Amino acid sequence: MIHHVFSVACRYASVDQFSNTLALADILENVQITERPPLSDPPVGLPIETSVVSVWLNDGSQDEEARLGINLVVPDGRILRAHETPMTVKAGQSHRTIAKTPALPYCGDGRYWFEVSVFRNAAWERVARLPFGIHVVVGGAALTVQ
C-alpha cells in the first residue's frame, strides 16, 4: 500500500544526480510583498517560484499506481487546482514528487494552503495541508485587508 511520508512547500528543491539526495531551500511560511497587486479573475501571478515536494512509500509486494493532486486554497476559501499527475510507486520502495509552479496566484492578503491529495480506490484522500501567508508590507508592517 502507498503511504504518504511527508510534504513540504518551498521555493526550490533539487536532487543531487550522484547521491540522489534531496535538498530543500526556502521553506514557504510567509510571503511579504511591497505592492498590492490588483485583484482579478483569473488572479495575478506573483513571480515567486514554488515547489511542493512529497515523499511516498509502498510497503506492499506489488507496484501501485495512484494520482497525485495538489490544490491551492486561497484566503476566501476558493480552491484552485494547481497540479495533478499520475504516479507509480514500486513495491518496497519510496518515491518522491516535485510539483513546480513559476508563480503564486494572488487572491488577497491572508492564509493560503497547498493541499496534497492522492486518488485511489475511486476517491480523493487529502494527506497534507501546507499553510503559508501572503501579506503586503509597507514601511516594515504588514497591512491587514478585511
Residue ranges per structural domain of the chain = 2-142
58 CB burial (10 A radius; 0-12, 13-18, 19+): buried
Higher-confidence residue of 53 and 142: namely 53
Listed residue (72, 68, 87) closest to 28, CA to CA: 72
pTM here is 0.87
Does residue 72 have a pLDDT over 80? yes
Does residue 144 have a pLDDT over 50? no
Q: Please state which CATH number belongs to domain 2-142.
A: 2.60.40.10
**What is the separation, in whole angstroms, between the first and last Cα of the chain?**
45
User: Distance (Å, rounded) from C-alpha 88 to C-alpha 64?
Assistant: 6
Lowest-confidence pick of 26-35, 42-51, 106-115, 133-142: 133-142
φ, ψ of residue 48 in degrees (nearest 5): -125, 110
Average pLDDT over residues 63-73: 96
